[in-house]
Amino acid sequence: MRRGLLLGAALAGGALAQTHSHGGHGGAMTMEAMNAQMMAELRSLRGRAFDVRFSQLMMDHHQMAVEMARASLKSGRDSRVRAAAREVITAQEKELAQMGAWVKTWTGKAYRPTSMTLNVPRSGVDRWFLADMIPHHQGAVEMARLVPARTQNAAVRKLAGQIIRSQSAEINQYRAWLKVVK
């Protein structure tokens, strides 16, 4: 069953509050809890079943990042953060297309990643983007680290390696920028 993800993010008292609604079940879920749920779903899978579900969940995950980056571009002011947001969009849209093609080949069906609603803060958008993207990217890195033990597919392994390298580097950059971005 495909789980729809809706993300609403708001900056409240300096702490990020996020909610996710899953498949009509309602309730609030943090980014970390959402990442843990995705990990739990993937841990029991191997082979083609893993490849398909990993790709679908990573597509949902990437779609969130693209939407967060677009919101950052719309309201953010810091040129470094805006450039990073554009890089996120470029890289993750390419990977979305790649994984979408795989899923269609493997299942015969197109998979559309879930879109979400973002509640972007009125101020501090650059910090919001950086602070939210750190746990978001950490979730993608954790998912990608499952790949070597669960698939023999060279293309999936290659993509997972790229995700680990690029998003780990971005996490480090975002942490550094959080020290100086207003």
Q: Give the DSSP per-residue string, 37-79.
A: HHHHHHHT--HHHHHHHHHHHHHHHHHHHHHHHHHHHHH---H
> What are 62-106's pLDDT values in tens digits?
999 999 999 999 999 999 999 999 999 999 999 999 999 999 999
pLDDT at 21 over 70: no
> What are 102-161's pLDDT values in tens digits?
999 999 999 999 887 777 888 999 999 999 999 999 999 999 999 999 999 999 999 999
Percent of the chain beyond pLDDT 90?
75
Structural domains for the chain? 47-179 (1.20.1260.10)
Torsion of CA 92, 67, 146, 32, to 10 degrees: 150
What are the E-state strand segments in the chain? 5-12, 15-22
Backbone angles phi, psi at 21, to 5 degrees: -110, 130
What are the E-state strand segments in 13-165? 15-22
pLDDT at 169 over 60: yes
From the list 116, 12, 121, the residue with the least C-alpha distance to 76 is 121
